[in-house]
Amino acid sequence: MLIPDFSKFLLLTGAVTVLGLGASGCAALPPVSQPSAELMPYEAQYDFAVGQIAEQNRDWAQAAAAYRRALRADPESLVLWQDLVEMLMQSGRAGQAVEEFRAALKKHEADPEWVFLMGEIADAAGNTVEAQHHYRRAVNSAHPTAAMFTALGVFLLDQAEEAEALVFLEKALALDPHARAARLAEVEAAIDREDYARARSVLLAALAADPDDEEWLFRLGKVEELSGREKSALQTYQRLLEIDPENPEARRALAEIYLRARDYAQALPWLESLQRSEPQDALVKRNLGAAYFELGQWEAARPLLKELAEQHKADAVTHFMLGAIYRQKSLWLLAEQELNAARNAPELHLDAELELAGVWIEQGERVRAAELLAELIPELQDQPRRLLRYALAALRLEEAAQAGAALQRALVLSPGDPELCFHLGRVFLAQKKISEAVQAWLQAVRRDPKFSEAWNHLGYTCAENGIRLPEAEGWARRAVALEPENGNYHDSLGWVYFQEGKYAPALEELQRALECFRSHPADLAPEVYDHLGEVYSKLNRREDALRAWRRALGMNPKDLRLQEKISKFEQAGK
């Protein structure tokens, strides 16, 4: 089934975010290099614990009161000051936090830890001038730390002062080669300027020190993706899963890569594992439904998509896929309902209306479908994939000229596209332009030597028309070699052999065709038994020939040609 390219809609994480740092490079104020709470005076420890419990319960007033009581018992504790400041910021009182700590700082102007924390507080509050002033004071102190250099480096990155920022980040790494935040900031800076080689180099250096670090591996995978090295990214994520088989980020990343490549068979196991671990994740659910849909697993896709369509009525992609499934199931009213829900979305309305035209064709509303297609064609002139879908609908309406014009236009936009060439060959066949059809299919297989359906059409069409039979045999063999379990391809090769007068191998191929159809008998066409009857007739196996033709007629009782053939054959045997 030909459907639109959903890859731009089916991304698990959207734009790739490698670091996820906040405005100041961290989600919260960093821990200060201060003795633990256990070394506070007993009175301060008690009120500190009360404050933390109150903060967890979002009881800001009680938390503030408890922290202030603790500070009265231990006024020099940076740990307590940091907790009080964070609590004030969380409760929407950033200005008050800055003012209170600014006042406390007056007694500790010479202490770089206090100065540094003032910089962090001002940075988190958005006071960039004051933040930079205190950061620079901290790094210019007698004993600056890697955390201080990192904070100033990240701050300067946010201010677009990249050159100076990198100097401070390098100083952080010189003091502490394992300074994680500095490495992450360096990677982010390299990504921002699209210097993926530098980002990769920094991450590889980090991994040299710790090859099993899951975060570094994940970041490296993302950088590989951004630089277009998707094979390397796949290997990196696989390595990460060897360390932690349940790592959800790696599974998401793998699924996303395969979705972008429209390799739904490879994406499927990762999506299924994510669905098991995160059953309520709507995006995972939709992508899993889409993978089932693309793979033709309608029954697996339908319940997922139906649930999502009910929960997210504005999700046009889900409505479209569900409508297409209902079309496959011949549930016309439901198909129309879902496709009408999708056609209002600007990015999908053309696809939904093309699908709707197909629904109407199958319902026998040919005039209505033709009118809709005529309305759509002016909007499709620069869109080769949609022109192809239009052409297929026009071909079903037996409007070969319109179908051919659409495909010729699509080939101008996408020269030599094998799928377009293949369907143009089908149009020529409908117009009984056999030579042109053969040339179109040959062009398709030259561009895609694994295009089995085109090889099959070449073999079968030439056999039907008694032309180029030696070549037709080779073409039909190519199709069978590519898909040895395809019964239609064995039927084509058998028919080529028949036209060449090679009746024994023809019989073998037709019998193989029937074997292939045993697992899916609904796909067996009456022509296979018709061909088998012709072969039996040439081998003078009259009863077998009649039996085969009667099987064909039983599958298509209105076939007058078969009725006449059987009647004449019976009369000739009397």
Please answer whether residues 468 and 462 qualify as being in contact, where contact means their C-beta atoms are separated by less than 8 angstroms: yes
- Contact, 533 vs 552, CB < 8 A? yes
- The residue behind tokens 């504005």 is 314
Nearest partner of 403 among 420, 390, 415, judged by Cα? 390
| CA dihedral sign, ordered 536, 538, 542, 546 | positive
Question: How many CB atoms are located within 10 Å of the residue 471 CB?
Answer: 15
Which residues are CB-contacts of 131 (< 8 A; sequence separation ≥ 6)?
Answer: 24, 119, 120, 122, 123, 155
Cα–Cα distance, 244 to 277 (Å, whole number)? 14
Closest CA to 148 of 122, 168, 177: 168
Q: Determine the Cα–Cα distance for residues 334 and 384; give it in Å rounded to an integer.
A: 29
Strand intervals (E) in 375-477: none
pLDDT the model gives residue 111: 86
Q: What is the number of H-type helices and E-type strands within the chain?
A: 31, 0
How far apart are alpha carbons 14 and 492 in whole angstroms? 46
Cα dihedral sign for 169, 175, 177, 179?
negative
What pLDDT score was predicted for residue 183?
84
CA–CA separation, 121 vs 115, rounded Å? 10
Residue 234: both structure tokens together? 């796949």
Which value, to the nearest 10 degrees, does the dihedral of the CA atoms of residues 272, 277, 279, 282 take? -70
> What is the structure's pLDDT at 39?
62
Q: How far is CA 144 from CA 19, 133, 179, 180, in A?
A: 25, 15, 14, 17
Rounded CA separation 446/418 (Å): 8
Residues in Cβ contact with 294 at an 8 Å cutoff, skipping those fewer than 6 apart: 3, 6, 262, 264
Mean per-residue pLDDT pooled into runs of 10, the chain (574 residues): 49 37 39 49 82 88 87 83 82 84 83 86 87 90 89 86 86 85 85 89 90 93 94 95 94 95 94 93 92 94 93 90 94 95 91 96 96 96 96 97 98 97 98 98 98 98 97 98 98 98 98 95 95 97 96 95 94 76
403 in helix, strand or coil?
helix
- Rounded Cα gap, residues 478 and 496, in angstroms: 13
Cα→Cα distances 18→42, 196, 254, 428, Å: 43, 12, 15, 51
pLDDT at 290: 92
Predicted TM-score (pTM) of the model is 0.67
Contact 530, 547 (CB under 8 A): no
